[in-house]
Amino acid sequence: MATLIECDSLSYRYEQSSVWAVKDVSFTVDEGDYICVVGENGSGKSTLIRMVIGLIKPMGGGIAFKGIGHNEIGYLPQQAPVQSDFPASVMEVVLTGRLNKKGFLPFLGKSDAMAAEANLERLGALGLRRRAYRELSGGQRQRVLLARALCASEKLLVLDEPVTGLDPLAQSEMYRIIRELNEGGLTVLMVSHDVAGAVRAAGRILHMDTEALFFGNTDRYLLSEPGRGFLSGVAPRDIPPGAPHGADADITKDAHPKREGTSDV
Ligand code: ADP
Ligand code: MG
C-alpha cells in the first residue's frame, strides 16, 4: 500500500511554554488507512494534527508528502470554524471547502455548487442545503462540516474529535458515515478521545502522550500496555475482537517498528 504521508520525529512547543506539546512523534499514513489518534486531554493530539495539515510548522523532525499534496487534505477541526451563530446557509458553509481547491482568485462557480451538493447528498444531508447552519443540530452540523471537508479532498480526511459533544445516536451515525467513506477508498486520520469507539472503528491506533506511546494495528494495540491501560474500565463487550479492515490485514508490515517495539515492553 502506498504511503501518503511520512512523519518523522515531529516535535512542537508553543510559544511561552516550557514543555513540549508534541515530542519525537513518528508515524505514516498509508493509502486506505483508518488511523485513530487517541490519548488524554492535552496529550498533543490536536497539535500533531495541525502540523500534519500544515497549520503550524514542526520545530523538530519533518513531514514528507508522498502520494498527496498539502492541499489535498480535507480537514474537520476540533472546534467548528463556523461560529454557531454564524448566519450562513448550509450551502455556503459547504462551499467554503471549495476555496481550498482554488488558486489566487477564489471565485466559486457552478461546478463548485455541484460538488457541494454531491457531497451533501453522499452524507444524506442534501435536504439541509437551504437551511441556516445555526439552526442545525450538532449531528447535522458535523455532517455539513464533513461535506465541506470532502469538497476539499477526495483522498485524505483529517478529523479532530468529530463525535465529541454529539448524542449517542448522532455519534454512531458519524462513525458509520466515516467508515463508509473509508470503505469507499478515502484515507482517514481521526482524533478521538472516545477510545472504545476509536478501537471499534480504526485499523491502526496512534496513542499520544506528548510522545507516541504506541503506533500500530488495532488488534496489537488492544494487547499492548498502553492499550490495556487506557482501555481498563471499558467493558470487554465494547471492544471488537480485531480490527475490521485496512492496514491491519498485514501485520508483518510495520510502518514504525522501533517505536511499536518499545511500546511492547
Ligand atoms: P489534545 O488535542 O490532545 O487535547 P493539544 O494538542 O490541544 O492536546 O495540547 C497539547 C499541549 O499543548 C497542552 O499542554 C496544551 O495546553 C498546549 N496547547 C495547546 N494549544 C496551545 C496554544 N495555542 N498555546 C499554548 N499552549 C497550547
Ligand atoms: Mg484536541
- Output the residue whose Cα is nearest ligand 1's atom 24: 14
- Output the residue whose Cα is nearest ligand 1's atom 22: 14
- Name residues contacting ligand 1 (CB within 6 A): 14, 17, 21, 39, 41-47
Specify the amino acid at residue 78.
Q
- Output the residue whose Cα is nearest ligand 1's atom 23: 14
- Output the residue whose Cα is nearest ligand 1's atom 17: 21
For ligand 1, mutation pick of 22, 47, 194 (most atoms within 8 Å of CB):
47
Q: Are 136 and 170 in contact (CB under 8 A)?
A: no
Nearest Cα to 150, choosing from 191, 115, 185? 115
Sheet of strand 73-76: strand arrangement:
73-76, 156-160, 187-191, 34-38, 204-209, 211-217
Beta bridge partners of 25: 10
173 CA distance to ligand 2 centroid (A)? 21
45 CA distance to ligand 2 centroid (A)? 5
Phi, psi (deg, nearest 5) at residue 168: -55, -40
Nearest Cα to 143, choosing from 83, 199, 88, 90? 90
**What is the per-residue pLDDT for 91?**
84
23 CA distance to ligand 1 centroid (A)? 13
**What is the per-residue pLDDT for 84?**
62
For ligand 1, mutation pick of 14, 19, 48, 50 (most atoms within 8 Å of CB):
14
Burial (CB < 10 A; 0-12, 13-18, 19+), residue 47, is buried
138's grid cell: 450538532
Give me the residues of the chain with pLDDT under 70, please: 79-87, 99-108, 233-265
**What is the per-residue pLDDT for 263?**
43
Nearest Cα to 123, choosing from 137, 140, 107? 140
The ligand with the least distance to the CA atom of 50 is 1
47 CA distance to ligand 1 centroid (A)? 6
Q: Is the dihedral of CA 122, 126, 128, 132 positive or negative?
A: positive
SS3 label, residue 101: helix
Instruction: Quote the pTM value.
Output: 0.83
Distance CA 262, CA 236 (A): 25
Distance CA 147, CA 118 (A): 9
Q: What is the pLDDT of residues 25-64, one digit of tens each?
A: 999 999 999 999 999 999 999 999 999 988 899 999 999 9
Beta bridge partners of 132: 89
Q: Are 259 and 211 in contact (CB under 8 A)?
A: no
79 CA distance to ligand 2 centroid (A)? 9
21 CA distance to ligand 1 centroid (A)? 6
